[in-house]
Structure 1
Amino acid sequence: MAPRANWKGVLKIAEVICPVSLYTAASTSERIVFHTLNRTTGNRVERQYIDSETEKPVDREDQVKGYEVSEGNYIELTPEELAAAVPESDKTLSVSAFIGCGDIDDVYFDKPYYLAPSDRVAEEAYAIIREGLREQKVAAIARTMLFRRVRTLLIRPHDDGLIATTLNFDYEVRAAAEAFRDIPDLKIKGEMLELAEHIIDTKMGTFDITEFDDRYETALAELVKAKIEGRKIPRRKEVREEKVVDLMAALRESAALKPSKGKAASASRSGSRRKAG
């Protein structure tokens, strides 16, 4: 069965118009999903909203959105008011600029979508846009109304098509300085840096996503299967905690290098200083 488009509209670059469809590229729908049950009856339980003061259930027609202006003080927003705040959509994915493919830090990447031509008539314009981006090694920045919000998308060539990745807004991405503030400014050089570079060189390879499995999802599937078949539940293996005593020794072991006598003495002294600290 052909995938269902999440959004349909036109990709507009200057005077070039191309009807396109947006399809989900990454989805969690295949993951195992659990339901909450009543242990006594075995029936599914339903979520119910309770008034925080009266502790009585609130019917759906009595539920309204609210914004807290101060502790315990809210302003109510009706569905009509919220709908009026949503910008008008003309279903146009309008390109405002072209940038180098590596010019945006991927911390701003949100969710990828496949962008494909909507019909046969659009295929030629689509191919021109795709090959133009590929030849110039650039990506397009475009904006449109997507799922009730104005979103910015980065459009790049991908195989025979285009990938459109929604971008996080600036206020949604925390400054890196907040996370890295307490990291000391250490200058790594000499043998320690050479060993690190050697380890990286020996581990160089190509990325193949099929080589990486979701161990948790696999374990859940095995657990569910065992329960259905009435088999013994597999026990989780104990994970041994690794302890690094000497950084240089660990690096040499990883690099499978034998230290020279002079460097061994230096490493020994370095390890002693670290233990003393």
Structure 2
Amino acid sequence: MAPRANWKGMLKISELTCPVALYTASSTSDRISFHMINRKTGDRLRREFVDAESGQEVAREDQVKGYEIASGEHVILTPDEIADAIPESDKTLAVSGFLDCGQIDKLYFDKPYYLAPADPTGREAYVLIRDGMRKKNVAALARTVLFRRLRVLLIRADDGGLIAHTLNFDHEVRSPEEAFDDIPERKIKGEMLDLAKHIITTKTGSFDPAAFDDRYEAALAALVKAKAAGKTIPAKPRRAKAQVVDLMAALLESADLAGKRPSRKKTG
């Protein structure tokens, strides 16, 4: 069955246009999902909204969205007000400019999509855009209303077609200082640095996505299959907590596992 397009519209570069469609490039549909169940009856549970003060269930027609501006104080927004705030879509993926591939920090990448021709009439223009971008080794920045939000997309040429990534806005990307501020300033040199570089060199390879398996999903699938068959899976023993070891000793052990240690530099 052909995949269903998430969005259809026109890709526009100056006066050049072609009909295109966005298809999700990654999916979580194959992941195992669970329902919440009443342990005593085996029946499924349903989620209900209740008033936090009275504890009474609130009917759907009385449920509205609110933004908290102070403790316990909210600005109420009706569905019509929210709908009016959504930017109007003209179904145009308008390219505002081009930039060198790799210029945008990957921190800004959100979700990947395949951008393909939406009908045969646009294939020639599509191939022209794809091949032109590939030869110039550039990516395109474009904007459109996607899923009721104005989104910026980075479009790049791939072997077979075009790949589009929605981009996070600047205010959505947290400053690295929040994560790295507590790292002390320290220079590593000498044998420790040589050992680290040696270990990295011996383990350098290429990326093969097929080599990585989702062990959690596989374990869950085995558990569900065993339970459905009336079997039990014995609990695995807990791993002992890793002990804090001497950094130099850990590097030497890692180098032995990776292969021959690098020769020490002669001094004097």
User: The TM-score by the shorter chain falls in which range?
Assistant: over 0.9
**Residues 160, 262 of structure 1: CA spacing in aligned structure 2 closer, same or farther, 3 A cutoff?**
closer
**Which 4+ stretches in 1 moved above 6 angstroms?**
none
Larger mean CA deviation between 141-150 and 131-140 belongs to 131-140
CA deviations over 1:67-123 (Å, ceiling 9, x no partner): 112111112111111111011110000111111111111111111111100011111
Residue type of the partner of 1:243? Answer: Q
CA deviations over 1:175-215 (Å, ceiling 9, x no partner): 00111111011112222222111111111111011111111
**Residues 153, 260 of structure 1: CA spacing in aligned structure 2 closer, same or farther, 3 A cutoff?**
closer
**Residues 101, 260 of structure 1: CA spacing in aligned structure 2 closer, same or farther, 3 A cutoff?**
closer
Count of residues in Structure 1 that have an aligned counterpart in Structure 2: 263
Structure 2: gaps of 5 or more residues: none
CA deviations over 1:214-243 (Å, ceiling 9, x no partner): 111111001000001111224224324433
What does residue 174 of structure 2 align with? 174
Note if contact 1:252-1:259 (Cα within 8 Å) is conserved in structure 2: no
Residue pairs, 1:139-178, within 5 angstroms: 139-178=139-178
What does residue 213 of structure 1 align with? 213
TM-fit CA distance, 1:4:
0.2
* TM-score, normalised via structure 1 length: 0.91
What does residue 8 of structure 1 align with? 8
**Residues 234, 134 of structure 1: CA spacing in aligned structure 2 closer, same or farther, 3 A cutoff?**
farther
Residue type of the partner of 1:159? Answer: D
* TM-score, normalised via structure 2 length: 0.93
1:104 aligns with 2:104: yes
Note if contact 2:191-2:264 (Cα within 8 Å) is conserved in structure 1: no
Residue type of the partner of 2:92? Answer: T
Note if contact 1:11-1:20 (Cα within 8 Å) is conserved in structure 2: yes
What does residue 56 of structure 1 align with? 56
Note if contact 1:244-1:250 (Cα within 8 Å) is conserved in structure 2: no
Residue pairs, 1:191-270, within 5 angstroms: 191-256=191-256, 257=261
Larger mean CA deviation between 228-237 and 216-225 belongs to 228-237
Residue type of the partner of 1:138? Answer: V
Note if contact 1:223-1:234 (Cα within 8 Å) is conserved in structure 2: no
CA deviations over 1:31-80 (Å, ceiling 9, x no partner): 00100011121111110000111111001111111111211111211111
What does residue 80 of structure 1 align with? 80
Larger mean CA deviation between 187-196 and 205-214 belongs to 187-196
- In 2, the alpha carbon distance for the partners of 1:144 and 1:62 equals 33
CA-atom RMSD, angstroms?
Answer: 1.7
- In 1, the alpha carbon distance for the partners of 2:65 and 2:262 equals 67
What does residue 114 of structure 2 align with? 114
Larger % of helix: which?
1
Structure 1: gaps of 5 or more residues: 264-277
Secondary structure of the residue aligned to 1:103 is coil
